[in-house]
Amino acid sequence: MSMLLIYGAAGYTGRLAAERAKELGLDFEIAGRNSQRIESLAAKLDVPYRVFDTDDAEGSLSGISVLLNVAGPFAHTAEPLMHACIKAGVHYLDITAEINTYRMAERLGAEAAVNHVMLLPGVGWDVVPTDSLAVHVAKRAVTPVALGIALQVPGSMSRGSAMSVSEIIGAGVLARVDGELVATPDAAPRHFDFGQGPVLCAPLSFGDLVTGWHSTGIPNIAMFVHITGDAFPEGDLAQLPEGPTPEQRAAHRARAVVEVTGTEGTIVCSMIETVNGYSFTPLAAVEAARRVLNGERQPGFATPTKVFGDGFAESIAGTVITDF
């Protein structure tokens, strides 16, 4: 029997994912490092649980076929869990936006493939929508050579996401140039239109610089973010609220824009709009896990569109693509 394990289930997004898995009637267990919180959630959901640290993961995956890692920052959890999954023959999924996690999954891809294991980071917001959108726009372009991706980040950020953003910023500003990731510390901001007129977006290095390359084959990729309100908090991140309330999530929908430039300089552009990122992530992540449990997979490093097709984002309720 195929069994899903949600690791980090006691966290903000982890609980939402576990509740979604329960709602769908999946065969799953939950796990994490904090025994008290995991036991409490397991009792509430009436599901089995496991308590282990990532460094002890290899011996804790018996009977599991798919691991969904929602425990960030992923700079601390992804590598040991990926290694454990490869050795145990378990397919690995996570929800990170941290680019170094994608680069690591790339490096481990060949070893994973030999062991018939899939490494699929980024099955939530932002990568599921932007990956789908990038492939969608690339199909509209004639001989695409450059890809620009811009995210709109409205509203408040969860404590875990804020810590992950620190990892993203620490990676420096990168871009893909002629197929290679290179440092671009002098990259300039650009304007993108999320439906209410052009706004200034800052360059930042998310996992899309890896997934966009694998999914579209476009050799030049740059990533940008438009920040509003208190989306990127400062100070002691440990003092932040665990995450936005349902009312706060409902007040801020998520949007991303992708533009593709062809060899003759022609530009095509589309926007994807969906429910708030913190609502989208558990929906997409659990749906991805469900599909992998049902056999949709490929060995080695993978991207959402490579596994599920470019319509995957639109399969999540409330998601709409608009072409410009």
Mean pLDDT of 222-236: 73
How would you class 196 by CB atoms within 10 Å of its CB: exposed for 0-12, middle for 13-18, buried for 19 or more?
exposed
Domain co-membership, 119 together with 144: no
pLDDT at residue 231, rounded to an integer = 53
Domain with residue 23: its CATH number is 3.40.50.720
Give pLDDT, residue 1.
53
Do 162 and 101 reside in the same domain of the chain? no
Which of 68, 118, 117 minimizes the C-alpha distance to 96?
Answer: 68
Which pTM was predicted?
Answer: 0.94
Q: Do 211 and 319 reside in the same domain of the chain?
A: yes
Mean pLDDT to the nearest integer, 149-168: 76
**250 & 304 share domain:** no
What percentage of residues in the chain have a pLDDT greater than 90?
82
Phi, psi of 120 (to 5 degrees): -125, 80
**Which residues are CB-contacts of 91 (< 8 A; sequence separation ≥ 6)?**
65, 66, 67, 85, 117, 118, 120, 292, 297
Q: What's the whole-number mean pLDDT along residues 59-75?
A: 95
| Residues 73, 48 share a domain | yes
Q: Which helix (H) or strand (E) holds 150?
A: strand 144-153
Please state the domain count of the chain. 2
Question: 119 with 136, same domain?
Answer: no
For residue 10, what are its two tokens?
């006691």
The mean pLDDT of 124-142, rounded to a whole number, is: 95
What six digits make up the tokens of 48?
A: 């089995």
Specify the pLDDT at position 78. 97
- Does pLDDT of 52 surpass 90? yes
Question: Are residue 161 and residue 218 in the same domain, yes or no?
Answer: yes
The better pLDDT of the pair 220, 236 is held by 220
Q: Are residues 181 and 286 in the same domain?
A: no
Residues 146 and 171 in one domain: yes
| pLDDT attached to residue 286 | 98
CB-CB contact of 164 with 278 (8 Å)? no
Q: Which two tokens stand for residue 267?
A: 């530009």
Supply 316's token pair. Answer: 């999540």
Centre a 10 Å sphere on the Cβ of residue 43 and count the other Cβ atoms it contains.
10
- The single-letter DSSP state of residue 239 is G
Kindly state whether residues 134 and 235 are assigned to the same domain.
Answer: yes
The residue segments making up the domain with residue 70 are 4-123+281-308
Whether residue 134 sits in one domain with residue 97: no
- Kindly tell me if the per-residue pLDDT of 147 is higher than 70: yes
Q: Which residues contact 180 (CB under 8 A, 6 or more apart)?
A: none
Whole-angstrom distance, CA of residue 82 vs CA of residue 267 = 38
Q: Are residues 216 and 99 in the same domain?
A: no
Contacts for 38-41: CB closer than 8 Å, 24+ residues apart: 38/9, 38/10, 40/10, 41/9, 41/10, 41/15
Confidence band for 237, pLDDT divided at 50, 70 and 90: low
167-191: per-residue pLDDT in tens? 777 778 999 999 999 999 999 999 9
Mean pLDDT of 260-274: 95
The contacts of residue 44 (CB under 8 Å, 6+ apart) are none
% the chain with pLDDT above 70: 93
CATH number, residue 204: 3.30.360.10
